Amino acid sequence: MNELINDLITRGKFFDARNEIIKMNVVDIAQLLEELEEDNSLMVFRLLPKDIAAEVFSYMSYEQQQFIIESIADKEIKNIIDELFLDDTIDLIEEMPANVVKKVLKNTSETRRKLINQFLKYPDNSAGSVMTIEFIDLKKEMTVKMALEHVRETGLDKETIDVCYVIDSNRKLQGSLPIRKLILSDGNVIIADIMDTNVISVYTHDNQEEVANLFKKYDLVAMPVVDNENRLVGIITIDDVLDIIERENTEDFHKMAAMAPSEEEYLKTSVFDHAKHRIIWLLVLMISATFTGNIIKKFQGLLQSMVSLAAFIPMLMDTGGNSGSQSSTLVIRGLALGEIEFGDIMKIIWKELRVAIVVGLTLAGVNFLRLYFLEKTDFYVALTVCISLLVTVIAAKVIGGALPVIAKKLNLDPAIMASPLITTIVDALALMSYFSIARLLLGIS
Amino acid sequence: MNELINDLITRGKFFDARNEIIKMNVVDIAQLLEELEEDNSLMVFRLLPKDIAAEVFSYMSYEQQQFIIESIADKEIKNIIDELFLDDTIDLIEEMPANVVKKVLKNTSETRRKLINQFLKYPDNSAGSVMTIEFIDLKKEMTVKMALEHVRETGLDKETIDVCYVIDSNRKLQGSLPIRKLILSDGNVIIADIMDTNVISVYTHDNQEEVANLFKKYDLVAMPVVDNENRLVGIITIDDVLDIIERENTEDFHKMAAMAPSEEEYLKTSVFDHAKHRIIWLLVLMISATFTGNIIKKFQGLLQSMVSLAAFIPMLMDTGGNSGSQSSTLVIRGLALGEIEFGDIMKIIWKELRVAIVVGLTLAGVNFLRLYFLEKTDFYVALTVCISLLVTVIAAKVIGGALPVIAKKLNLDPAIMASPLITTIVDALALMSYFSIARLLLGIS
């Protein structure tokens, strides 16, 4: 398919190419246009039917959208903006540089401009900022027949109308009603009698993460958004929720690897921005690691009289860090999915303690066998290393399990309590116990 | 609301409680029943209307489901299983112990049992294993009026019918048609003329991760599943895709913290299972860390003559590990979201190299100022530490960025190339360069 289109375009047969292209899915058309040369891409885009063009436009990258708006005439822009969903228009305006925004707003009707301004006021990450206004509201006193008539009049052919919302004369949300139920019901039935009054809704200022959690909990495909007076102002659809979930997950991955979270794609982020996102935590953790170094300094005399002890430092530090990050990751993820809450902290500590003993004894055992029998290390040195290992694993797992829950309780993001921070704490503990045990068992000071 | 119900139940007024409960959302009813005492929970459950009971049942935890099946009579089980969606029944059978499965199958009709057996054969994580058969298929020669009639006859009131699928006389998939489009179209129009022939479908054996990616790419709410002959056999709905996405993310979090991935909730996993998921990687990484220890051993003479060098080991190791895990996390996430592919490897290395130089120079600079001016460390020692730091950060970032892409190319899971493994490799490199530079600059051997 794509080869045929490419061939047609190369030979300048744009109309033939267009006729092939409009058979494709709009997402694929958007991708195809990104891959074409700029001139060809623009030419093909302008030949697309108005409604398809707007849909294709909404699936383009911001770079491509900007290029298109900068290249086409005002009238063409108006055609696209008229067809575009309000939430896509808002996204566009938030991402584009000022000159492009100006060009877009100039070609937007007065009413729509007012709406846009209202939407731009919703705080980032709020339900209001992700909702759309393309939905169908039914009056509760309507009959099914009237409702179907109303749906037909609106003529909105989008998945946003698969569920209609029922309001009273003050626009207050009363219930929800899937379109399929309209089909399955008798024409004379009153909407109020068949609507679901148990409708899950959110306020415009609610956080998008809460919204995503409600979608997951109640298996929703759409959810109404109301203002403070419970008046219906918009809806959020599942496709936007998917984006929210992936974004939240990405943020957690970034934070857990000690970075400032970023929404931008890896390859599209500049070197300077990459460095900016990473440097702060690296600096903080580097400085705190020097405290760990100070512990070694403090025990320098001991190390001087038995320098072979230094060879076990990496193993102790790494194993402690890994043990701790296993526990913190499990707990952070459990908190994010709502499976764990603060009240569970004692259960977590108790579980981690037992897991740590099982895991720690195994590791220490394997290590002792290796050191004493394979490497013929001195018995007391091997014992020192293995006891330190056990102590380290236990401390790492208990701290790794508890700290994220405590962070959450203190309204901090649990994800920042992930491996890097835990590692630094555990490192210090590991070295402290290692040298103390060495002093005790080996009789050196 | 909940207090009222609790009060009614405590006073033994189960019928009154039931009348309050059936006003609630089924997800909340399931949660309420989990919180009640077993006897009360069972009593309330039995009083629920048949259709609500089945829905509530599908939202219960496996423990609660097992308790219910073990406690109620065969006839009651049949009522639930008859109402349950096929995919929920499959989930149930896969999770329950043999005696419960027997009880369930005994109360399932012959036809349904055959279907269940067929579904159980689909490999884990395949599209076939997550699809459901509760959907509506239309013939392409039907008129809109006939199609609406067909929808009404089926009477399925579930979001799975918001999109209907069009098949030919051999059950081969021809197109899709949202129910809303049926409403918006004239009754005499032929289905084949208004259906979308551009339908995205998957094969039963396709991986569920691919399915999730298609849903995200094309903003779908449902997707048809076909067999090898392109015959429609089931559909996958967005709520199952949400579960898949969260499960895949959890798996990645686990793998990136060096654990065998587990689907079970943290608190519900036994100590032994926790230990089992964590021990293998800890052992592997512990053994490999001893190689790092061997590097220290090799340079023992150097360390003996200048034991103060040991104090900088934790800082070098930690900063290297953190730098590497930042890069690997970004790349692993980019791969998971489909933003990065193998062809980008040179771009990644080039980007990481430049980021590493910016970040590394900053860190080394800050460190040098601290060491030389604040701590009055010897100039050459400070220089040794800072050059080693720069080298370590560069190595860590380039390796951290490249390894996950290479792993993906080799059909390994990129997530296992995350922080712990990178850390171990980077540790060795850090110590090696540290001691080599020390030998060079400080003139000790």
- Tens of pLDDT, residue by residue over A356-371, are 999 999 999 999 999 9
Closest in A221, A303, A424 to B238, CB measured = A221
To the nearest whole Å, the CA of A372 is away from the closest chain B CA by 14
Q: Nearest chain B Cα to A270, which residue?
A: B351
Confidence (pLDDT) at A397 = 94
Q: Specify if B126 maps to a domain.
A: no
Lowest-confidence segment of A192-196, A421-425, B413-417 by average pLDDT: B413-417
To the nearest whole Å, the CA of B370 is away from the closest chain A CA by 10
Structural domain boundaries, residue B113: 2-121
- Tens of pLDDT, residue by residue over A44-72, are 898 898 888 888 998 998 889 999 988 88
Whole-Å CA distances, B23 to A196, B17, B39, B47: 10, 10, 22, 14
For residue A201, the number of C-alpha atoms closer than 13 Å in the C-beta half-sphere is: 27
- Average the pLDDT over B109-138 and give the result: 86
**B161 neighbourhood in chain A, CB within 8 Å:** 180
Q: Specify if A69 maps to a domain.
A: yes
Which CATH number fits the domain that encloses residue B349? 1.10.357.20
Confidence (pLDDT) at A419 = 66
**B340 neighbourhood in chain A, CB within 8 Å:** 266-267
- Average the pLDDT over B316-344 and give the result: 89
User: Residues A162, A49: one domain?
Assistant: no
- Long-range contacts of range B281-285, CB-CB < 8 Å, 24 or more positions apart? B281/A322, B281/B420, B282/A319, B282/A322, B282/A323, B282/A326, B282/A359, B282/A363, B282/B258, B283/A362, B283/A363, B283/A366, B285/A318, B285/A319, B285/A322, B285/B258, B285/B420, B285/B421, B285/B424
Domain C-terminal end among B75, B92, B121 = B121
Mean pLDDT of chain A: 88
Q: How many residues does chain A have?
A: 445
Q: Specify if B232 maps to a domain.
A: yes
The Cα–Cα gap between A357 and A363 comes to: 10
- Average the pLDDT over A384-406 and give the result: 94
Phi then psi for residue B50, to 5 deg, are -50, -50
Burial (Cβ within 10 Å: 0-12, 13-18, ≥19) of residue B376? exposed
User: Residues A194, A224: one domain?
Assistant: yes
- Tens of pLDDT, residue by residue over A167-181, are 998 899 999 998 888
Q: Specify if B253 maps to a domain.
A: no
Q: Is the pLDDT of residue B345 over 80?
A: yes
Confidence (pLDDT) at A281 = 86
User: Residues A117, A143: one domain?
Assistant: no
Q: Is the pLDDT of residue B1 over 60?
A: no
The Cα–Cα gap between B242 and B222 comes to: 12
The Cα–Cα gap between B280 and B287 comes to: 11
User: Residues B395, B308: one domain?
Assistant: yes
Q: Specify if A262 maps to a domain.
A: no
Q: Look at A246 and B245 and tell me if their CB atoms are within 8 Å.
A: yes
Sequence letter at residue A213: N
The span from the first CA to the last CA of chain B, in angstroms, equals 78
pLDDT band of A223, cuts 50, 70, 90:
very high
Q: A38-47 and A14-21 are packed helices; what angle lies between their axes, rounded to 10 degrees? A: 70
The Cα–Cα gap between B314 and B207 comes to: 43
Closest in A258, A329, A370 to B326, CB measured = A258
pLDDT band of B190, cuts 50, 70, 90:
very high
To the nearest whole Å, the CA of B124 is away from the closest chain A CA by 22
Mean pLDDT of chain B: 88
Q: Look at B300 and A311 and tell me if their CB atoms are within 8 Å.
A: yes
Q: Look at A286 and B355 and tell me if their CB atoms are within 8 Å.
A: no
User: Residues B394, B276: one domain?
Assistant: yes
User: Residues A72, A167: one domain?
Assistant: no
Q: Nearest chain B Cα to A215, which residue?
A: B239
Domain C-terminal end among A121, A150, A171 = A121
Interface mutation target, options A153, A303, A345, A419, chain B, most CBs of B under 10 Å: A419
Closest in B183, B300, B313 to A308, CB measured = B300
Sequence letter at residue B44: V
Q: Look at B27 and A266 and tell me if their CB atoms are within 8 Å.
A: no
| Highest-pLDDT range among A265-274, A329-338, A379-388 | A379-388
β A163-167/A137-139 pair status: parallel
- Average the pLDDT over A349-358 and give the result: 95
Q: Is the pLDDT of residue B349 over 90?
A: yes
The Cα–Cα gap between A200 and A236 comes to: 12
β B202-203/B222-226 pair status: parallel
**A360 neighbourhood in chain B, CB within 8 Å:** none
Q: Look at A318 and B279 and tell me if their CB atoms are within 8 Å.
A: no
**B401 neighbourhood in chain A, CB within 8 Å:** none
Residue in this structure with the two tokens 């149930």, named with its chain if needed: B92
User: Residues A306, A418: one domain?
Assistant: yes
What DSSP state is assigned to residue B84?
A: S
Closest in B303, B325, B334 to A307, CB measured = B303
**Could you tell me the sign of the dihedral formed by the alpha carbons of A404, A408, A409, A410, in that order?**
positive
The Cα–Cα gap between A300 and A304 comes to: 6
User: Residues A229, A154: one domain?
Assistant: yes
pLDDT band of A414, cuts 50, 70, 90:
confident
- Tens of pLDDT, residue by residue over B40-59, are 888 889 889 888 888 899 89
Q: Is the pLDDT of residue A26 over 80?
A: yes
**A351 neighbourhood in chain B, CB within 8 Å:** 267, 271, 274
Sequence letter at residue A341: E
User: Residues B71, B171: one domain?
Assistant: no
Q: Nearest chain B Cα to A290, which residue?
A: B315
User: Residues B114, B142: one domain?
Assistant: no
> CB contacts < 8 Å between A and B, how many?
339
Which CATH number fits the domain that encloses residue B179? 3.10.580.10
**Within 10 Å of residue A330's Cβ, how many Cβ atoms?**
30
- Average the pLDDT over A17-38 and give the result: 88
pLDDT band of B143, cuts 50, 70, 90:
very high
**Could you tell me the sign of the dihedral formed by the alpha carbons of A60, A62, A65, A71, in that order?**
negative
**B240 neighbourhood in chain A, CB within 8 Å:** none
Q: Specify if B431 maps to a domain.
A: yes
The Cα–Cα gap between A62 and A128 comes to: 22
Q: Is the pLDDT of residue B108 over 70?
A: yes
Q: Look at B303 and A300 and tell me if their CB atoms are within 8 Å.
A: no
User: Residues A84, A179: one domain?
Assistant: no
Q: Look at B253 and A250 and tell me if their CB atoms are within 8 Å.
A: no
Q: Specify if B257 maps to a domain.
A: no
Q: Is the pLDDT of residue A445 over 70?
A: no
- Tens of pLDDT, residue by residue over A322-342, are 899 899 989 998 988 888 889
**A304 neighbourhood in chain B, CB within 8 Å:** 304, 307
Q: How many domains does chain B have?
A: 3
- Average the pLDDT over B342-365 and give the result: 94
Q: Look at B178 and A159 and tell me if their CB atoms are within 8 Å.
A: yes
Q: What percent of chain B has pLDDT over 70?
A: 98
- Average the pLDDT over B326-351 and give the result: 90
**Within 10 Å of residue A173's Cβ, how many Cβ atoms?**
21
pLDDT band of B257, cuts 50, 70, 90:
confident
In the structure encoding, which two tokens stand for residue A149, read together? 């008539």
Q: Specify if A129 maps to a domain.
A: no
Q: Look at B267 and A23 and tell me if their CB atoms are within 8 Å.
A: no
Domain C-terminal end among B71, B93, B121 = B121
| 3-class secondary-structure state, position A202 | strand
**A419 neighbourhood in chain B, CB within 8 Å:** 257, 325, 419
Q: Look at A344 and B217 and tell me if their CB atoms are within 8 Å.
A: no
User: Residues A277, A420: one domain?
Assistant: yes
Q: Is the pLDDT of residue B239 over 60?
A: yes
